[in-house]
Each structure stands twice: as structure tokens, then as C-alpha cells.
């Protein structure tokens, strides 16, 4: 027998650059599997802090990395109880936007790296309000998203950007074909594609260049 209980949960998040009177872009950046927000935010340190506010949520499930138990990483969710965990994540992100008083702000950019792509896209489906851009970096688009979701995304997103490294060690021919088909289904020809010559790592320079064009 499996029972379910609801309870209050508290989690942190990082603010690298706060919102100020000159802010043009409000980045909400979702890290990948094994990261902590305190380290993931370093990829955005060279952004123009006058124009870019950087908010980095923290995945709730922490665990030790490797067999020495010295370093800690985190995960957003797994294939176990995925729907329930995603609901918890949605409530948490809603809480961040409320705490920062940015819910409904059209300057928001949802950016996800690796596992963070699934969080960014699922949150946009839940959020249902216009944003400035959706940036998907080196991660898989959730299988359940369909053409109807794509219509919603295109109506809410001024720019859709997809980044995948040519040397990404997690990309096989089958995965590449699947992701390209998914992008076509959701965004048609309207998604900007970037294919840098990198492995499965954050392309901080490319993200900074993109920030200047938003």
C-alpha cells in the first residue's frame, strides 16, 4: 500500500544579479543533473549585470557524487513518481516568481541545461504567460509535449533557441533524429538552432552572446 501526504517544504535559490531599474532580461536558469545552483550560476558571471538579472533555482533532491562522498549534486526528478515530483517543482518555481515579484513579467527568459530543459519546457506549459525567450541547451524535450503544447509555446514565446554540441557524448543518431522531430512538431521552423563544437557542457560564451541579442 502506498499512501501520500502533503507537507510544507522549503528550498533555496540563487540570485547572481538582482533586478534593477535597467534590467532588460530576467533569466530563470535550470541546472542539469548533478549540479548545485551555487556553482551553476558561475556560467553567467560575465553577463552584463545592468541589463540581465540572473535567478538560479535549486533542484530539490540532493545526493553525493562519486564514491568519495565529497561533492554534492542534485536532481529535479526521476522516472519514479515523475508527475508528483514535477508538481512539487512547479509549485516551487511559482514560489520563486512570487517571491521575486516577477510573475507575469514579459522580460522572463526560461533557460534549461541538460535535465533543466525538461523543467523549463514543462514549466512554460504550466505558466501559460508570455515570456521573452525559451532557451533549451543540451537536453531532451519531454516526450509528453505535443502539437497543442507547441501552439501554446509559439503564442507565448518571442524567441525559441535550441543549443546542442556537435561533440555531445550523450547524443546518438537516434536521439538527434528524435529531438529534431520534436523541435519541428513544437516550433516548426521558428526555433533558432545553434550547434557549437562542444561536448555536454554549458557554452557560457554562446549564452552571453545570445543575451546581447535579446
138 CB contacts (<8 Å, ≥6 apart)?
32, 113, 114, 117, 163, 164, 165, 168, 170, 200, 201, 202
User: Distance between CA 116 and CA 140 in Å, rounded?
Assistant: 9
The pLDDT of residue 43: 98
- For 31-86, the pLDDT digits (tens) are 999 999 999 999 999 999 999 999 999 999 999 998 888 889 999 999 999 999 99
Question: What band does 156 get if pLDDT is binned at 50, 70 and 90?
Answer: very high
Pick among 3.40.50.1820, 3.90.650.10, 3.90.320.10, 1.10.420.10: CATH of 13-213:
3.40.50.1820
Bridge partner residues of 136 (DSSP): 112, 162
Which residues lie across from 111 on neighbouring strands? 29, 135
Q: Which set of grid coordinates corresponds to residue 195?
A: 550547434
Kindly state the helix (H) or strand (E) to which residue 16 belongs, with its residue range: strand 13-17
Sign of the CA dihedral with 163 first, then 205, 116, and 23 last: negative
Query: Distance between CA 5 and CA 135 in Å, rounded?
Result: 35
DSSP string, 39-53: HHGGGGTTS-TTTEE
pLDDT, mean over the chain: 95
- For the chain, how big is the Rg over CA atoms in Å? 17
51 CB burial (10 A radius; 0-12, 13-18, 19+)? middle
Q: What is the pLDDT of residues 77-125, one digit of tens each?
A: 999 999 999 999 999 999 999 999 999 999 999 999 999 999 999 999 9
CA distance 145 to 123: 12
Give the Å distances, CA to CA, from 39 to 84, 87, 149, 173, 205. Answer: 27, 25, 32, 31, 17
Amino acid at each position: 500500500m502506498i499512501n501520500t501526504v502533503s507537507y510544507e517544504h522549503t528550498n533555496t535559490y540563487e540570485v547572481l544579479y538582482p533586478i534593477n531599474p535597467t534590467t532588460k532580461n530576467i533569466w530563470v536558469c535550470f541546472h542539469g543533473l548533478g549540479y548545485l545552483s551555487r556553482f551553476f550560476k558561475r556560467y553567467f558571471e560575465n553577463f552584463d549585470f545592468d541589463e540581465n538579472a540572473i535567478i538560479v533555482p535549486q533542484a530539490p533532491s540532493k545526493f553525493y557524487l562519486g564514491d568519495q562522498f565529497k561533492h554534492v549534486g542534485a536532481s529535479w526528478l526521476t522516472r519514479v513518481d515523475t508527475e508528483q515530483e514535477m508538481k512539487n517543482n512547479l509549485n516551487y518555481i511559482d514560489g520563486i516568481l512570487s517571491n521575486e515579484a516577477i510573475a507575469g513579467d514579459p522580460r522572463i527568459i526560461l533557460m534549461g541545461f541538460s535535465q533543466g530543459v525538461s523543467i523549463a519546457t514543462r514549466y512554460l506549459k504550466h505558466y501559460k504567460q508570455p515570456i521573452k525567450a525559451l532557451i533549451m541547451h543540451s537536453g531532451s524535450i519531454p516526450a509528453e509535449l505535443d502539437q497543442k503544447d507547441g501552439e501554446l509555446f509559439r503564442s507565448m514565446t518571442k524567441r525559441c533557441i535550441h543549443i546542442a554540441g556537435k561533440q555531445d557524448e550523450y547524443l546518438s543518431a537516434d536521439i538527434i533524429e528524435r529531438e529534431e522531430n520534436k523541435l519541428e512538431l513544437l516550433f516548426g521552423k521558428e526555433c533558432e538552432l545553434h550547434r557549437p563544437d562542444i561536448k555536454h557542457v554549458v557554452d557560457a560564451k554562446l549564452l552571453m552572446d545570445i543575451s546581447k541579442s535579446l
